[in-house]
A and B are shown apart, each in its own frame.
Chain A
Amino acid sequence: GEDVEQSLFLSVREGDSSVINCTYTDSSSTYLYWYKQEPGAGLQLLTYIFSNMDMKQDQRLTVLLNKKDKHLSLRIADTQTGDSAIYFCAVSGYSTLTFGKGTMLLVSP
């Protein structure tokens, strides 16, 4: 089955850019998603990219997709303390999503 890997932890200072990386194994995935989970909350959809795209920008968020290397990244510009959360990469296939274990982003003032 699909395997999705993420680094577990990232620490940045407020105002810096954050880059969260994800690798996956199934090249037939059609959509790739980024979700944000704050403590005690469900998953909030941040953005997604279709597999025929290389890049998608949405305000402070930039998603880059390298299909050859099966690598997905999420860049958050001007990171704020309110961005501190766990970020999940999710890859679609056969109407299901496979999630990574999540990357905990800690933003310090």
Chain B
Amino acid sequence: EAGVVQSPRYKIIEKKQPVAFWCNPISGHNTLYWYLQNLGQGPELLIRYENEEAVDDSQLPKDRFSAERLKGVDSTLKIQPAELGDSAVYLCASSRGSPDETQYFGPGTRLLVL
């Protein structure tokens, strides 16, 4: 079974530029998560989707961040415009959904904003 796929693996951009990350969850997993991991910290949830519906986006900075999960499979997370403080690892995870909510993570996208 293929794991969670993320692209790109690395991204370097200048501040104020837009950037987008893509995630393909494990087949059959209805729930998809985007996390932010700063250096030396654990992952923090940005947004959770159940199928195509964003059910928890309370931690997503909506002034510059947006996400979508069209057709309830792949998802895209966008930042526009990027700021220096957005440099971090962006992790995508998926789970089957209730009652099995064990989350499986992708390799992450490492973003550096200059």
Contacts and interface: CB of A to CB of B under 8 A. Distances in A.
A41 B107 contact: yes
Interface in A21-49: 31, 33, 35, 40-45, 48
Interface size class of B (residues with CB under 8 A): 20 to 34
Interface size class of A (residues with CB under 8 A): 20 to 34
Interface of B: 4, 6, 31, 40-45, 48, 55-56, 91, 93, 98, 101-108, 110
A52 interface: no
A48 B43 CA distance: 17
Interface string A74-109: 000000000000001010100111011110000000
A42 B9 CA distance: 11
Which of B42, B93, B101, B105 has the most chain A CB within a 10 Å cutoff?
A: B42
A97 B108 contact: no
Nearest to B9: A40
A40 B9 CA distance: 10
A33 B102 contact: yes
A33 B44 CA distance: 15
